[in-house]
Amino acid sequence: MSSGRTIVVGITGGIAAYKAVNVVRAFVLRGDCVHVVATPAALRFVGKPTLEAISRNPVHTDLYEGVAEVRHVAIGQSADLIVVAPATANTIAKLATGLADDLLGNTILASTAPLVIAPAMHTEMWNNAATVANVATLRARGVIVVGPGVGQLTGADAGAGRMEEPDTIVAAALAALALADRTDGPGADLVGKHVVITAGGTREPLDPVRFLGNRSSGKQGVALAQAALARGASVTLIAANLEVAAPTAVELRLVGTALELEAAVTDAAAGADAVIMAAAVADYRPVQVSAGKIKKDETGDTLLLELTRNPDILAGLARTKRTGQVLIGFAAETEPDPVRLLVLGREKMARKGCDFLVVNRVGWAEGFASDRNAITVLDHDGDIVCEVSGTKMSVAGRILDLIG
Ligand code: CTP
């Protein structure tokens, strides 16, 4: 689907600049008009012809070119959205102080469009008090900070500082556009709210090397966390075996099993304004976890596993939730018939007793690793509140409207 918007992609001087090409391409393929403003340092990492070919527009760098057309403000004024990827520590510092000593700085200062930045730097630079303060300043001004992710960095080191993947940056940017488009504009409507989100899928160990698990990637839960951060919430993310990077701005609690998730979410929920149970929780765990690797010689040709029920965490949260707290559950169903799907959703709502239930269909090819989702939200009485399909980021936005 194309928005046909004017998007300025600012590229600054970090090695992740090569990945920014894919950010530009994603917008172009959507039908957006993309103008790249690259700093001179960025062009040491990625060539101007590449950026011009991919963006299908001239790439601007020099503050003193195009003076007659007042380019230093014209680009910013025309933008519906500005995305800076990668955003180096230096650029973040300049943005925080409002410096305009290059074309990108002028463009950003001259714009009222939403600004999304994707930081990329070494962990020490990201953790430096100066960068921490600069990022906090930008966030307080409504700048949406995507990432950085945690992982392998350019050298041999690993840690926080890796630029988020282009898909994630584009999804966050589109969510920012969608928020800005709303006439009733929720904007930063979750400032001061503490939102607890569970994401991923629990793994129940059988022995030191094997587990019973599920195919949840954690993408929808992470999208919820990103969207909640973008709307100003403080977010606790209880992450069970995520396949995607968690946003660094969350309070992250890593869990493995259903019982660990229960302990973490029960603790975090005590002070939360909203709890969203997006995680896929194993309903059963092995009665016995073998201390050593289970050996075929000892188990023979068939192996029977004895499992015991895990607690229903969502139902437990519903029983103990404090007044005013909004509790949202998910219902993952494989039922293909839409009418029957709703019946299952309503039955699940009756069992769980939460405030809203997000019903989504899952299957061999649906739901899990996809970047898209289609949901129907039921309220406590089983009535349909909304039906949404789109990217997991846009779906996240509608779910957060329930607590905004
Ligand atoms: N859930 C939970 N504790 C469990 C199982 C699920 O808190 N032991 C939560 C999930 O996080 C989700 C909701 O309950 O928000 C529904 O999960 P789902 O797997 O769809 O349903 P189940 O309760 O497991 O029921 P069934 O598998 O029989 O459909």
pLDDT surpassing 80 at residue 298 = yes
**Is pLDDT of 183 > 50?**
no
Q: How far does residue 283's CA lie from ligand 1's centre (Å)?
A: 7
Q: Do the Cβ atoms of 330 and 360 come closer than 8 Å?
A: yes
Average pLDDT of the residues in 255-266: 98
Residue 371 reports pLDDT greater than 50: yes
pLDDT at 185 over 50: no
Cβ pair 54, 21 in contact under 8 A = yes
Contact 43, 15 (CB under 8 A): no
Ligand 1, atom nearest to 283 Cα? 8
Lowest-pLDDT range of 157-171, 214-228, 263-277: 157-171
What is the third-level CATH fold of 6-182?
Rossmann fold (3.40.50)
Is it the case that residue 328 has pLDDT exceeding 50? yes
Could you tell me the pLDDT band of residue 372, with boundaries at 50, 70 and 90?
Answer: confident
356 lines ligand 1 (CB under 6 A): no
> How many angstroms separate the CA atoms of 61 and 58, rounded?
10
Atom of ligand 1 nearest to the CA of 309: 8
Answer whether 277 contacts ligand 1 (Cβ < 6 A): yes
Q: Is residue 2's pLDDT more than 50?
A: no
351 CA closest ligand 1 atom index? 23
Model confidence at 181, pLDDT cuts 50, 70, 90, reads low
Q: How far apart are CA 330 and CA 89, in angstroms?
A: 38
Q: How far apart are CA 225 and CA 237, in angstroms?
A: 7
Q: What is the mean pLDDT of residues 89-109?
A: 96
Reported as type and span, the H/E element at residue 332 is strand 326-333
Q: What does the pLDDT average to over 17-27?
A: 97
Q: Is the pLDDT of residue 294 over 90?
A: yes
Tally Cβ neighbours within 10 Å of residue 228. 29
End-to-end CA distance of the chain: 27
pLDDT at 226: 87
Q: Give the pLDDT confidence score for residue 182 in this predicted structure.
A: 52
Tokens representing residue 242 in the block: 């995520």
Least Cα distance to 282 among 260, 251, 263 occurs for 260
**Tokens matching residue 375:** 């949901």
Which residues are catalytically annotated? 214
Q: Is the pLDDT of residue 61 over 50?
A: yes
pLDDT score for 70: 77
Q: Specify the 3-state DSSP secondary structure of 266.
A: helix
Q: What percent of the chain has pLDDT over 90?
A: 70
Collapsing DSSP states into helix, strand and coil, what is residue 297? helix
CATH 3.40.50.1950 placement within the chain: 6-182
Residue 3 has pLDDT above 80, yes or no: no
CATH H-level, domain 188-293+302-400: superfamily: CoaB-like (3.40.50.10300)
pLDDT of residue 172: 84
Whether 232 contacts 189, CB under 8 Å: yes
Q: Alpha helix (H) ranges present in 208-330?
A: 219-230, 258-269, 296-299, 313-320
CA of 324 relative to ligand 1 center, distance in Å: 23
Q: Tokens in use for 47?
A: 């060539």
Any ligand 1 atom below 6 A from CB of 281: yes
Assess whether pLDDT exceeds 60 at residue 171: yes
Interval 372-381 mean pLDDT: 94
pLDDT at position 369 over 80: no
Residue 9, H or E segment? strand 6-11
Q: Where are the beta strands (DSSP E) in 39-108?
A: 81-87
Q: Is the CB of 229 under 6 A from ligand 1?
A: no
Tell me which of 170 and 364 has the higher pLDDT: 170
- Residue located nearest, by CA, to atom 8 of ligand 1: 312
d(CA 189, CA 218): 24
For position 184, what pLDDT does the model report? 43
Q: Is the pLDDT of residue 100 over 70?
A: yes
- Which H or E run contains 117? strand 115-119
Backbone angles phi, psi at 110, to 5 degrees: -90, 5
Q: What is the mean pLDDT of residues 86-107?
A: 96
**Residue 272 CB less than 6 A away from ligand 1:** no
Is the C-beta atom of 330 inside 6 A of ligand 1?
yes
Does 310 sit in the ligand 1 pocket, CB within 6 Å? yes
Residue 7, both tokens: 């998007």
Cα R_g (the chain), whole angstroms = 23
Q: Which of 4-13, 171-180, 214-223, 273-282 has the lowest mean pLDDT?
A: 171-180
For a mutational test of ligand 1's pocket, the pick from 277, 308, 346, 351, i.e. the residue with the most ligand atoms closer than 8 A to its C-beta, is: 277
Query: pLDDT band at residue 53, thresholds of 50, 70 and 90?
Result: very high
Burial of 66 (0-12, 13-18, 19+ CB in 10 A): middle
**CATH 3.40.50.10300-classified regions of the chain:** 188-293+302-400
